Amino acid sequence: MEPNTLLDSVLDEAGVSHAGLAAHVNEAGRARGMKLRYEHTAVARWLKGQRPRGQVPDLICEVLGERLHRALTLDDIGLGTPGSVRTPATSLSGFVERATALWRSDEQQRPHVVEAPAVTGTPAVIPVWEWENPPEDSDVSRRGLTRVSMTDIETLRAARAHYEQMYRKAGGVATRTRVVGFLNSEAAPLLRGAYADDTGRQLHRTTGGLVAIAGICAYDSNAHGLAQRYFHQALRLAKASGDRGLGAYVIALLVNQSLFMKEYRQAVAFAESALRAAGSQITPALAADLYAMQAKAYARLGDGAGALSCIRRAETAADRIRPGQEPDETGYVQPGLVNVQVAEALLSLGDLGGAREHATAAVGTPAHDRGRVHRLAMLTHIELRQGEADRAGATAVEMTERARGMESQRLRDRLRAVREHLAASGSAATAEAAELIDGALRVPL
């Protein structure tokens, strides 16, 4: 089930509490000869994605419509398709309303949205399939009250770059509230504004980049269901823009999340979809990252031949990267990133020597602090595996110092993992590093 953010949004607009809606639905049912005994807990279940039975969805429309003095349809409250709050045939304008309802619920920290689990299986695959396959959006123009200008689009581009840098420096926990607030205050009115097809495609592309940053921040905050929904939204916006490269970038984010969730076969399939569908629009940096993540997935599946094949492709693509010739979104593929990805794949395959070589190369390449923490963590792990406790302790100390001040659940997870490896080594040489990590973890987010 996916949270019903449209119903949540309409409830908020109407100023009706969960208990109030339940009482009004019971009363409206009695007028139709029905004996209903709903309470606020039932409304909470509806908001989490459960569909009410029988005529109850129509009663909800009636109750809230009277309160708002306008007619509401089942689609308006997210109950238009029995058994699912997601319909592949949703129009672009309908998608915009669903997307902005999610942003609003996230900004208001609605538990049923923020704490929703990630979907798996077919619901996780459908958005990727829809991005890759027809129909395409033939015209994304819209009539609205406010005319969207190129100045507006440049503002969104600048905001995306700003929030990406904030994420790298401060982490996703601190950045998410800011980027979601910006989506609500600035991006949502523009999507509902007036624009021609060409302007609309640029608007959807730029908004998609911002929504992807919101997803990255949610992922970094351990809100995996929310992150996944943001990534799916960004993928739909990418399709509306007609930019296959942007869509492939968003799928790379889904691949990364799939690896974290140990959905290794899904990670391989998603990466294949991005590489296949983006075609000539895929850049060397993005291709290198997708192949490197595929290598990690194959290694986890025990497919050494597949992993090594993808490693070679990743390295070939990385050699073709030219600074200044990549879109803003792929700036995260900095020198050394492929090395650390390859090191992780080789470590899973048991090739400690090869993993050490790549991890050392990654650490020796300049990177922003966030990326450097991950590289140092990988090198620490490999050094411990090779019995070099003194060297591992020094590497872990540097890693911990770099991580200070960042509000990130992913980095905290990485610190905990390194702490466990240090403790398991049973060496006095790692005691200082372990103590430093303990101190860093005691600082609340």
Q: What is the pLDDT, as a whole number, of residue 402? A: 93
Handedness of CA 276, 234, 281, 264 (dihedral sign): negative
Distance of CA 251 to the CA centre of its chain: 10
Is the pTM value of this prediction over 0.75? yes
Burial of 82: CB neighbours in 10 Å, binned 0-12, 13-18, 19+: exposed
Q: What is the pLDDT, as a whole number, of residue 27? A: 92
Q: What is the pLDDT, as a whole number, of residue 90? A: 65
**Which tokens is 427 given?**
């060496």
How far is residue 25's CA from residue 39's CA, in Å, rounded to a whole number? 10
Domain boundaries, the chain: 5-87, 92-242, 368-445
Q: What is the pLDDT, as a whole number, of residue 85? A: 40
How far is residue 57's CA from residue 78's CA, in Å, rounded to a whole number? 10
How far is residue 191's CA from residue 94's CA, in Å, rounded to a whole number? 11
- Return averaged pLDDT per consecutive 10 residues of the chain, 445 residues in all: 85 89 92 90 92 91 89 87 48 91 93 91 92 94 95 98 95 96 97 97 98 98 96 97 97 98 96 95 96 98 97 96 90 93 97 97 93 96 95 95 92 95 87 92 86
Candidates 119, 135, 144; CA nearest to 1 is: 119
Whether the bond into 127 is cis, omega within 30 of 0: no
Cα–Cα distance list, 151 to 131, 147, 148, 158, 194 (Å) = 28, 11, 8, 11, 14
Bridge partners (DSSP) of residue 142 are 195
- Beta-carbon contacts of 425 under 8 Å, excluding residues fewer than 6 positions away, are 384, 389, 392
Q: What is the pLDDT, as a whole number, of residue 82? A: 52
Which amino acid type is present at position 57?
P
How far is residue 210's CA from residue 234's CA, in Å, rounded to a whole number? 8
Q: What is the pLDDT, as a whole number, of residue 20? A: 92
Decide: 136 and 243 in contact? Cβ < 8 Å: no
Q: What count of other Cβ atoms lies within 10 Å of the Cβ of residue 41?
A: 10
Q: What is the pLDDT, as a whole number, of residue 418? A: 95
